Structure 1
Amino acid sequence: MNNRLVQQQTEELERKLRAYERLIEKLPFPFVFTDYETGIAIEKERGDARPRLHPAPVSPGKEAEWQWDIDLYHDVPFEKVESFLTPLLDLVPHHIVFVDGQGIITLCNLQAAIDTGVDRDAIIGKHIRELLKLPDELIATLQSLERREPLYNHEVLDRFYGIVNTRFIYNDDGSVKRVISMFQSLSMMKETEKLAVAGRIAAGIAHEIRNPLTTVRGYLQLLKNDLPDRVTSLVERLLIPELDRANGIITDFLNIAKPADVKMETFNLHRFLRDDVGVLLQSEALLHNVNVHFDLDEQLDGYDMNGDRSQLLQVFLNLFRNAVEAKVAKTMNVTVSSRKANHIVQLRFCDDGPGIPLSVIDHIFDPFFSTKETGTGLGLSLSKKIVELHCGTMKVQSDACGTCFLMEFPLRSQPPFLSS
C-alpha cells in the first residue's frame, strides 16, 4: 500500500515537473532564474527550444534572482503592445493610426476618432478609407505603404489640412507588420491666425470709429430739442438707432477678437437644456411657426456641466435665429439633442430648413461673413468663440434636408453626480 502511494506521489511530481518544463519552453523571451535555495540556475536564450540548467551557489535564506530581456517586437503579440499603447496615445492631441500591410486599422487614438466622427472601437478592423472617407489615392498612409517609403512632414491639402508622418514596423520575413501614421492638424493654427487678424482689425475699428460715433450721437442727443419736429423725429427714429446699431456691431466683434470673462458654474445639463434653452426657444418658436423637439441621452440625465449659462444660452439663441431667418414657408422643425460618445459630450442643434450652400459652408464661422442682406456675420463667429471658451469645438453639417451644428465638450474627469 505504501509503495502504491509513493508511486502515485512520484507520478504526480513528474506530471507537475513536465508541466513546468513546458511552461518554460513556451516562454518567448530570454531569462535567467537563479534559485539559491536549491543551487540551480535556469537559463534560456532567445530561440532556444529548451532551457539549460547550471549549478549556482547555495545560500539558504537568500532570495532568488530573476532577470529577463523582453523584446516587444518579437516576444509579445503586437496586438498586446497596441492595447497597452492605446490609453497613452489617447493623450496625444494629434491623429495616430496604426494599419497593417493591407491598410486595416489596428489602433486609432481618441483624437482621430473624435475629429473624424467615428466610434473608435467600431473602426478597429476596418480599412483606413472608412475612417478618413477619402479615395485610396488621396490617403497618404496608403501611398506610403504602397511605395514602402516613410513620409517625413508630408503636407496634406485635402479636407484634412496638416502634416502627416509615417513609420514602418516589419516582420522577420521583411513584410510590413504595421504602418504608424501621425497626422498633425494645422486647422487650429489657421483659426488662430484668423483671430489674430480679427483682433488687430477690431482694435483699429474701436479706436477709429467708436469714439467718433459716440461724439456724433452725443451731439444729436443734445441738439434734437432745438431742431424742427420733422428733423427731431428723423434723429430719434433713424439716426440714433443706426449709430447704436453700429456701436453694437463693434462690441460683438470685440467679443470675438478678445478673451471674454466666463462666469463658470455647475449645473445639470439636461435641466439646463429643457428649462433654460427650452423656455427661451419655445417663446421664440411661437412667433415663427417653428416646432422645437428635445432628444436627450439618458446616460447624461445626471450629468453636471461646468459653464456660463448666459453665454451658452446666447449660442442656442444665435443658432435658432439663424435657422428662422433661413426658413421657407413651411413649418420648421428644430431638434436639440445630447449624446455621450467616447469621452465627450455632444450637443446637436438641427433644423430641417433649406440647408447651407456648399459654396459658403466653409466660411460661415468667419467674422463679417453673411449671406443675409441685413446680417452682420458675427452671430456664428461669436457662438463658436463661446464654445471654445468652454474647451469645446463647434462644427456644421448641412445638405438639402437641413443643417446641424455639432458642439462637443470634454467629459468632466470626475464622475457626474445626480442633482437633487
Structure 2
Amino acid sequence: MNDQWASQRINELERKLRAYERLIEQLPFPFTFVDYENGVTIEKKRGAVQPHLAFIPPIPQKEVEWRWDIDLYRDVPFEKLEAFLTPLLDLVPHHIVFVDERGIITLCNLQAAADTGVDRDAIIGKHIRELLKLPDELIATIHSLEKREPLYNYEVLDRFYGIVNTRFIYNDDGSIKRVISVFQSLNMMKETEKLAVAGRIAAGIAHEIRNPLTTVRGYLQLLKHDLPDRMASLVERLLIPELDRANGIITDFLNIAKPADVKMETFHLHRFLREDVGILLQSEALLHHVNVHFDLDGQLDDYEMNGDRRQLLQVFLNLFHNAIEAKVNKTMNVTIRSRKRPHLVQLSFCDDGPGIPPSVIGHIFDPFFSTKETGTGLGLSLSKKIVELHRGTMKVQSSPAGTCFMIEFPLHNRPPFFSP
C-alpha cells in the first residue's frame, strides 16, 4: 500500500515538475530567477525555449530575486498591447488609428469613430477607406504605407482639415507590423477663431444698435397715444414687435459669442425629459400635427445630472422648432431618446422629416446660417453653445428619412468651471 502511494506521489510530482518546465518554456520574455534558500538559479534568454539552470551555495532565509526584461513589441502579442492602449487613447481628443501592412484597421479611438460617424467596434477589421470614406489616393495613411515613409505634420485639406503624423512599428524581419496614424483636427481652431470674430462683432452691434433701438422703442410707446387709431395700431402690432425681434436677435448672438451664466441645479434626467420637455413640446406639437415619442433607457431611470434646466429646455425647444420648420405636408414623428454609454449619457432628438441636404449639413451650427427665408440662423448655434457650456457635445446625422441630433454629456456630470 505504501509503495503504491509513493509511486502515485512520485508521478504527481513529476507531472507538476513537467508543468512548471512547460510554463517556463512558454514565457515569451527573458528573465532571471534566483532561489537563494534552495541554491538554484534559472535564467532564460530572449528567443530561447529551454532555460539555463545552475546551482549555487544556499543562503538560508534570503529572499528570492526575480528580474525580467519585457520588450512590449517583441514579447507581448501586439493585439494585447492594442487592447491595453485603447481605453487610454479614447481619452485623446485627436483621431488615432492603427492599421496593418494591408491598411486594415486594428485600433480606432473613440474620437476618430465619433467624428466619422461609425461604430468603433464594427470598423475594426475593415480597411481604413471604409472609416474615412475616401479613395485610397486621398488617404494620407495609405500614402505613408505605400511609400514606407512616415509623415511629419502633413497637412490635410479635404473635409477632415488638419495635420496628420504617421509612425511605423516593424516586425523582426523588417516588415511593417503597424502604421500608427494621428490626425489633429484644426476645425476647432477655426471655430474658435470664428467665435472670437463673432464676439468682437457682437460687442460692436450691442453698443451701436441696441441703444438706438431702445430709444426708438421708447419714443414709439409715447407717441402711439397721440397718433390716430390706425397709426397707433401699426406701431403696436408691427413696429414695436419688429424692434423687439431685432433686439432678440442681438441677445441670441451675444449668448453665442460669450459664455452665459449657467445656474446649476441637480435634477432627475428622465423626469425632466418627460415632464418639462414633454409638456413644453406637447402643446406646440398639437398645433403642428407632430407626434412626440419618448424612448428612455431604463439604466438611467434614477440618474440625476447637473445643469441649467432653463437653458437645456431652450435646446430642445430650438431643435423642435427647427424640425417643424422643415416639416412637409404630413404628420411628423419626433422621438427623444436616452441611452447610457460607457462614460456618457447620450440624448438624441430625431425626426422623420425630409432631412438636411448634404451640401449644407456642415454649416448648420454656423451663426446666421439658415436655409429658411425667415430664419435668423442662431437657434442651432445657440443650442450647441449651451450644450458645450454643460461640458457636452452636439452632433447631427441626416438622410432623406430624417434628421437626428445627438447630445452627449459625461456620465457623472460636474458643474462648469465658471459656474458660481
Residue identity in the other structure for 1:91: L
Residue identity in the other structure for 2:180: I
Going from structure 1 to structure 2, the CA distance change for 1:400 and 1:113 (only over 3 Å counts) comes to closer
Would you say the 8 A contact 1:35–1:56 is kept in 2?
no
**Is 1:106 the equivalent of 2:106?**
yes
Tell me, which stretches of 5 or more residues in structure 2 are unaligned? 415-420
1: CA distance, partners of 2:353 / 2:17: 76
Residue identity in the other structure for 2:240: I
2: CA distance, partners of 1:322 / 1:88: 38
What is the 5 A alignment of 1:121-140? 121-140=121-140
2: CA distance, partners of 1:45 / 1:358: 59
2: CA distance, partners of 1:12 / 1:325: 80
- Report the secondary structure of 1:151's partner residue: coil
Match of 1:189 in 2: 189
2: CA distance, partners of 1:30 / 1:344: 42
**Is 1:336 the equivalent of 2:336?**
yes
Q: How far apart are 1:135 and its partner, in Å?
A: 2.9
Match of 2:69 in 1: 69
Q: How far apart are 1:413 and its partner, in Å?
A: 7.1
**Is 1:170 the equivalent of 2:176?**
no
Normalising by structure 1, what TM-score? 0.91
Match of 2:155 in 1: 155
**Is 1:268 the equivalent of 2:280?**
no
2: CA distance, partners of 1:6 / 1:372: 93
Residue identity in the other structure for 1:109: N
**Is 1:299 the equivalent of 2:299?**
yes
1: CA distance, partners of 2:137 / 2:215: 61
Would you say the 8 A contact 2:167–2:181 is kept in 1?
yes
Match of 1:240 in 2: 240
Going from structure 1 to structure 2, the CA distance change for 1:17 and 1:345 (only over 3 Å counts) comes to same
- Report the secondary structure of 2:73's partner residue: helix
- Report the secondary structure of 1:322's partner residue: helix
Residue identity in the other structure for 2:95: H
Would you say the 8 A contact 2:44–2:52 is kept in 1?
yes
**Is 1:205 the equivalent of 2:205?**
yes
1: CA distance, partners of 2:15 / 2:39: 23
Residue identity in the other structure for 1:89: L
Q: How far apart are 1:68 and its partner, in Å?
A: 1.0
Q: How far apart are 1:10 and its partner, in Å?
A: 4.0
Would you say the 8 A contact 2:314–2:383 is kept in 1?
yes
1: CA distance, partners of 2:341 / 2:128: 20
Match of 1:217 in 2: 217
Q: How far apart are 1:373 and its partner, in Å?
A: 2.2
Going from structure 1 to structure 2, the CA distance change for 1:399 and 1:79 (only over 3 Å counts) comes to closer
Residue identity in the other structure for 1:181: S
Match of 1:259 in 2: 259
Match of 2:393 in 1: 393
Match of 2:409 in 1: 409
1: CA distance, partners of 2:9 / 2:159: 72
Going from structure 1 to structure 2, the CA distance change for 1:209 and 1:52 (only over 3 Å counts) comes to same
2: CA distance, partners of 1:315 / 1:406: 12
2: CA distance, partners of 1:50 / 1:155: 51
Choose 318-327 or 354-363, whichever is displaced more: 354-363
Normalising by structure 2, what TM-score? 0.91
Would you say the 8 A contact 1:152–1:166 is kept in 2?
yes
Choose 194-203 or 153-162, whichever is displaced more: 153-162
2: CA distance, partners of 1:240 / 1:295: 42
Would you say the 8 A contact 2:306–2:413 is kept in 1?
no
Match of 2:377 in 1: 377
Q: How far apart are 1:363 and its partner, in Å?
A: 1.9
Going from structure 1 to structure 2, the CA distance change for 1:43 and 1:382 (only over 3 Å counts) comes to same
Would you say the 8 A contact 1:120–1:342 is kept in 2?
no
Would you say the 8 A contact 1:95–1:112 is kept in 2?
yes
2: CA distance, partners of 1:9 / 1:319: 76
1: CA distance, partners of 2:10 / 2:210: 99
